[in-house]
């Protein structure tokens, strides 16, 4: 029997009114993964796809692939955001903008070379935000790599003006403690300010800009009328009342910051995936978020990576990035409870109640990095359906309307990379009738799903989608 995750007590009596990313490393992440690297007959038989061969369910139509621009070749493709008929695709060396007015014939319209690592990306109005998680000599796009031991090294968030999307202008760079692994937008109610929740982790005594303990996030205030004045206005400690979060030696990674936060501004809540902890935040006051619930799963979760609410905010799907994104965890020798999603019910007081795990049912080979990663809702009224990236496990569409019995009903994946390398779908999101997937090595994939369970979502139209700033979907009766 699977042991249910440990639940922490609520930290306040507040009622609620109503999260990108990974560090890519080799498979030797310090975690002992059963079967990793072993050429067992069991797993060899499961590797049925040839390199580059595509497997998909009948309800998925593969419309297009747009390779990465040459300037980004050799660097990892990362997260995405959307606005109008544009997809903004992050890369460790900057970002590129794609015209998706015709999803079957996407066209690159802008390439911005601005290296810094991670490239987690968000857009709001005329502004674009890009996360930098590698130490640089300064905050400019012309900067060079720097040692983290250099007190003058820079990491943080870059801000661009995209009012002329064919000619983005760099307007600000805000240094944040430990850089910015991911960032999440929380626009103010009056639209005059954009608050950026910056998640970072892994402090070091040798890094003067990332000193332990690091139990906080940074909050940047960006005045919409003067984005060049963007500055850090708060550094709330999210684990002050619990001795610094989950300690080492309990099965999960020690909590030394958050990996990702998904905000749901319409409901004044957010969910944080914080290494060894999953948390719920009250964000009614966006510069003073309050932790109202925390859960731990020391038996099955290695690294709390990201979170997704359902439309009614009655559920949260947390993901576990076992192996740091570089390990083959979708093999028969790794249990379905590890490297998976954990589905929790969420009540109006912010209490989380564990319901089940979900992991793709398609066994991968031992050369394919595969684990739960970034996804978003497919907006269907009365149902909870999610599309999600699984690296070389491809993308999965699963229904978690019944929290205790999630089920995949659509998928797309490629055969293993040859020679073996890190790759696959980093992010897979649903936007205005189509699925867009950012592949680490292969660029942008565009797909359509035709299924009675998801067809109603085609009626929902949006002007902007930052999946870590979860929208209140309008249309289709929502």
Residue 1 lies in a domain: no
Q: What percent of the chain has pLDDT over 70?
A: 90
Cβ atoms of 236 and 214 within 8 Å: the answer is: no
The angle at the Cα of 362, spanning 447 to 322, to the nearest 5 degrees, equals 95
Share the mean pLDDT of the chain.
90
Terminal CA-CA length for the chain: 38
CA distance 244 to 236: 13
Here the tokens at position 114 are 């601005």
**CATH at residue 387:** 2.130.10.10
Adjacent-strand bridge partners of 294: 279
257 DSSP assignment:
B
pLDDT recorded at residue 474: 86
Arithmetic mean of pLDDT, 343-349? 96
Which pTM value belongs to this model?
Answer: 0.91
pLDDT of 20 > 50? The answer is no
Higher pLDDT, 386 or 45: 386
Residue 384 has pLDDT above 60, yes or no: yes
470: which residues sit within 8 A by CB, 6+ positions away? 19, 262, 263, 264, 308, 309, 377
Can you give the pLDDT at residue 36?
37
User: How far apart are the C-alpha atoms of 459 and 197, rounded to whole Å?
Assistant: 31
CA distance 277 to 343: 14
> Do the domain assignments include residue 473?
no
Question: Is 471 among the domain residues?
Answer: no
Statement: residue 42 has pLDDT above 60 = no
Structure confidence at residue 245 (pLDDT): 86
Decide if 174 is inside a domain: yes
Check if the beta carbon of residue 98 is closer than 8 Å to that of residue 444: yes
Q: Tokens for 455, please give them.
A: 């067809």
Q: Which residues of 311-331 are buried (b: 16+ CB within 10 A; e: fewer)?
A: bebebbbbbbbbbbbbbbbbb
Amino acid 24: pLDDT: 33
What letter does residue 372 receive in the DSSP assignment? -
How much is the pLDDT for 428? 98
Q: Rounded distance, CA 396 to CA 380, Å?
A: 17
Q: What is the pLDDT of residues 204-243, one digit of tens each?
A: 999 999 999 999 999 999 999 999 999 999 999 999 876 7
Q: Provide the β-strand partners of residue 122.
A: 129
pLDDT band at 41 (very low <50, low <70, confident <90, very high): very low
Is residue 477 assigned to a domain? no
Domain-embedded: residue 438:
yes
pLDDT digits (tens, 9 = 90+) for 97-125: 999 999 999 999 999 999 999 999 999 99
Buried b (16+ CB within 10 A) or exposed e, 63-94: bbebebbeebeebbbbbbbbbeebbbbbbbbb
Range of the domain at 247: 6-465
64 in any annotated domain: yes
- Percentage of residues of the chain with pLDDT beyond 90: 86
- Determine contact, residues 199/258, Cβ cutoff 8 Å: yes
pLDDT surpasses 90 at 268: yes
H helices then E strands: how many in the chain?
A: 1, 31
For the cut 70, the answer to whether the pLDDT of residue 454 exceeds it is yes
Confidence of residue 249 (pLDDT cuts 50, 70, 90): low
How many domains would you assign to the chain? 1
Task: Report how far Cα 190 is from the mean position of its chain's Cα atoms.
Answer: 27
Span 48-89, pLDDT tens digits = 799 989 999 999 999 999 999 999 999 999 999 999 999 999
Q: What is the pLDDT of residue 304?
A: 97
Tabulate helix, strand, coil % of the chain (nearest 5): 5, 40, 55
Residue 422 inside a domain? The answer is yes
User: CB–CB of 186/471 below 8 Å?
Assistant: no
If pLDDT is split at 50, 70 and 90, which confidence band does 370 have? very high
Q: What are the C-alpha distances in Å from 378 to residues 152, 234, 318?
A: 44, 34, 17
Region 312-318 average pLDDT: 98
Q: Angle at the Cα of 217 (from 128 to 353), degrees rounded to 5?
A: 105
- Report d(CA 155, CA 174) in Å as an integer: 8
How far apart CA 84 and CA 344 sit, in angstroms, is 32
């Amino acid at each position: 029997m699977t042991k249910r995750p440990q639940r922490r007590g609520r930290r306040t009596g507040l009622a609620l009114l109503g999260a990108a990313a990974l560090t890519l490393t080799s498979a030797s992440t310090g975690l002992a993964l059963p079967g990793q690297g072993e050429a067992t007959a069991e797993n060899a038989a499961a590797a049925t796809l040839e390199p580059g061969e595509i497997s998909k369910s009948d309800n998925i139509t593969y419309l297009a692939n747009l390779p990465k621009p040459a300037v980004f070749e050799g660097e990892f493709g990362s997260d995405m955001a959307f606005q109008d008929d544009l997809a903004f695709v992050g890369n460790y060396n900057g970002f590129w903008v794609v015209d998706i007015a015709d999803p079957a014939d996407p066209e690159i319209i802008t390439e911005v070379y601005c290296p810094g690592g991670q490239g987690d990306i968000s857009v709001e109005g005329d502004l674009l935000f890009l996360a930098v998680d590698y130490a640089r000599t300064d905050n400019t796009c012309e900067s060079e790599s720097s040692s983290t031991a250099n007190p003058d090294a820079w990491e943080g968030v870059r801000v661009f003006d995209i009012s002329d999307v064919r000619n983005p202008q760099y307007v600000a760079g805000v240094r944040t403690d430990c850089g910015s692994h991911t960032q999440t937008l929380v626009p103010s109610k009056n639209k005059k300010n954009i608050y950026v929740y910056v998640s970072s982790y892994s402090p070091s005594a040798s890094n003067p800009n990332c000193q332990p303990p690091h139990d906080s996030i940074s909050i940047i205030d960006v005045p919409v009328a003067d984005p060049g004045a963007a500055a850090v206005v708060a550094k709330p400690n999210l684990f002050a009342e619990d001795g610094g979060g989950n300690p080492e030696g309990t099965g999960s990674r020690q909590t030394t910051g958050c990996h990702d936060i998904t905000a749901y501004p319409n409901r004044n809540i957010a969910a944080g995936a914080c290494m060894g902890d999953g948390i719920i935040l009250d964000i009614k006051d966006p510069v003073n978020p309050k932790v109202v619930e925390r859960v731990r799963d020391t038996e099955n979760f290695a690294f709390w990576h990201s979170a997704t609410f359902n439309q009614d905010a009655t559920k949260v799907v947390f993901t576990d990035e076992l192996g740091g994104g570089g390990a083959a965890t979708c093999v028969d020798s790794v249990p379905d409870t590890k490297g998976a999603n954990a589905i929790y019910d969420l009540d109006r007081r912010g209490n989380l109640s564990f319901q089940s795990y979900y992991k793709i049912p398609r066994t991968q080979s031992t050369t394919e990095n595969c684990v739960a990663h970034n996804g978003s809702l497919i907006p269907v009224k009365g149902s909870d359906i999610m599309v999600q990236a699984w690296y070389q496990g491809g993308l999965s569409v699963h229904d978690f309307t019944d929290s205790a019995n999630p089920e995949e009903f659509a998928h797309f994946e490629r055969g293993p990379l040859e020679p073996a390398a890190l790759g696959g779908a980093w992010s897979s999101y649903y936007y205005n009738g189509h699925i867009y997937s950012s592949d680490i090595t292969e660029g942008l994939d565009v797909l359509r799903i035709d299924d009675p369970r998801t067809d109603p979502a085609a009626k929902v139209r949006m002007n902007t989608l930052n999946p870590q700033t979860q929208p209140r979907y309008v249309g289709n009766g929502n």
